[in-house]
Amino acid sequence: MKIHLVGGFLGSGKTTAIGNACQHLKQQGLKVGVITNDQGQYLVDSEFLDAEGISSAQVTGGCFCCNYDQLDKQIQRMTDSISPDVIFAESVGSCTDLVATVLKPLLKFRGQEMEGMTLSCFVDARMLMMHSTNKRLPFSADTTYIWEKQIEEASLIVVNKIDMVNTSDLPAFKQALTAKYPDKKFLFQNSLDEDSVRDWLSELSIYEANELISLDLDYAKYGRGEAELAWLDEQITIKTFDGTAIKVAIDFIEGLTSGFKREQLPIGHLKLMITSNGTQRKISFTTVSSGAAETNELKSFFGDSNEVQITVNARVQTAPEVLRGLLEVELGLLRTTDTVISEENIAFFQPGFPTPTHRITS
């Protein structure tokens, strides 16, 4: 069994890449599983993987490093249930220090039963382009510190969403990366492209995590960076009597994202799983990606409907109460005698201070 640990910041496209990689491996006759990770409990990513027919498990309520024992149990359960050839373990996007707190403990306690381990760090190409040209990222200094440390830690960097960068800018971009990170291996990837995903898997097949070195990390700064991000998870049901539930859902999504923009709140990741008429669609937003095209396609994708369910995972740089308040306002504007909106499994909070179960620095 091989374990591929996948890190990288919120909204960098880890789940899409993992899902497509799993489908590719399954076509080769391999058994694969995914362990997702988040501070929250009700995850869009898990719903997405289930919809894709991929075996998955969750480590919730904190990052892998702070819930190492839960990660170990999920690995064992997956081993017992499907005997996977490959497990992808996707770390929550606000986490770093994975070598010392996850990889080295796994090698210590499970090394004999594994064929190998890898660590990939995913990064949004547009964010990395900003950073490589010394432009300020849209997050606070402490949150940006996490982003920078994720890149520092991994020697294999997947520059994802490369299709969002102008082709004419690529030569200078690649040259800047080589100058700034001479010791890194960069893969330039569009995770919706089969050849890109195949290249990533090919690199993983020859890459070993024991080449990595534990980070020198300021945990106080790391903790402040996580605490500046608010988490909100909930499940929303919209019911109408005239087939307009999808339109109401679109109005909600557009109103919420406009509110973030109006209040100048950087979006780490806003993920929504839309379910209606027996079908599902996942859409995503980040500070550097509006997601407008995906929203515009919802009406034609679903058609008329009297009921829509939305799972919301929002990770935004603000206070949790502010995030919840913005969402309440948008839903309140849409409630009428002909539109019934209900909410359940509501949670909004800041991540706790990172306290790893194990930290092996040698």
Condensed to tens digits (0 to 9), the pLDDT of residues 189-240 reads 999 999 999 999 999 998 765 567 899 999 999 999 999 999 999 999 999 9
Residue 290's pLDDT is what? 67
**CB contact set of 175 (below 8 Å; sequence gap of 6+):** none
pLDDT in tens, 71-109: 999 999 999 999 999 999 999 999 999 999 999 999 999
Distance CA 160, CA 286 (A): 14
Residue 291's pLDDT is what? 67
Domain 230-349: which topology? Alpha-Beta Plaits (3.30.70)
Residue 207's pLDDT is what? 77
pLDDT in tens, 149-182: 999 999 899 999 999 999 999 999 999 999 999 9
Neighbour tally for 30: CB within 10 Å: 13
Residue 114's pLDDT is what? 87
Residue 210's pLDDT is what? 53
Distance CA 324, CA 228 (A): 15
pLDDT in tens, 5-56: 999 999 999 999 999 999 999 999 999 999 999 999 889 999 999 999 999 9
Neighbour tally for 319: CB within 10 Å: 14
Q: Residue for token digits 């904190």? A: 62
* Closest to 101 measured CA to CA, from 222, 199, 189, 191: 222
Please report the DSSP string for 285-331 in residue order. EBTTB--HHHHHHHHHHH-SBSEEEEEEEEEESS-HHHHHHHHHHHH
Residue 27's pLDDT is what? 96
pLDDT in tens, 248-292: 999 999 999 999 999 999 999 999 999 999 999 999 999 988 667
Degrees, nearest 5: CA angle 94-99-105: 115
Q: What is the mean pLDDT of residues 321-332?
A: 98
Q: Which CATH class is domain 2-225?
A: alpha beta
User: Residue 163 corresponds to which tokens in the numbers above?
Assistant: 């299709």
Domain boundaries, the chain: 2-225, 230-349
Distance CA 206, CA 197 (A): 15
* Mean of the per-residue pLDDT values of the chain: 94
Residue 331's pLDDT is what? 97
pTM: 0.95
